[in-house]
Amino acid sequence: MVHNYNRQRPHLFDLSAIREATTGQIKAVAWVMEMGLLGRTMLCLQCAQSMRLDARECYWCCCRKTRHADLKQKQHSIFVNSWFTKMKLTLPQSLRLMFARCMRSWGTHSSSASPKY
C-alpha cells in the first residue's frame, strides 16, 4: 500500500483540508483511502469476489450468499488489517487527533528540545 502523506502534496494536509475531510464519516473514509491508510478494495474470503463498500457504516459487504458455504451475507469492517482496527473513536475524531498530534510533534521537533508529556 502506497502512503501519500509526503511533502509533494502539502495542500492535502493543511488545516482547511483536514477540517473538510473530517466533516463527516463518508468524507473521512474517502480521504483516508486517498491517502493510502485504508485499502480501496477488499476481496471476499469466501467467494474471492470484490466486496461493496458501505462508507456510511464503515463495512465491506459481499451479497453473493449463494457462493458462500453458509449462504449468509459477509461483512468486514473497513478498518480490518489497519491500525484503526480497535479504534473506539469515530474516524473523523481520530483524524483530527492525529493531525493535532502531528502538528504538536512538528512544532516540538523543530527545536532541539524533546517533547514533554
* Domain chopping of the chain, boundaries: 10-102
Q: pTM of this prediction?
A: 0.69
pLDDT by residue (tens digit) across 60-103?
998 776 666 676 777 888 888 887 888 888 899 998 988 888 77
Contact yes or no for 20/58 (Cβ under 8 A): no
Contact yes or no for 2/32 (Cβ under 8 A): no
What order do you get walking across the sheet with 52-54 strand by strand?
A: 52-54, 59-62, 74-77
Q: Give the residue, 59 or 107, on which the prediction is more confident.
A: 59
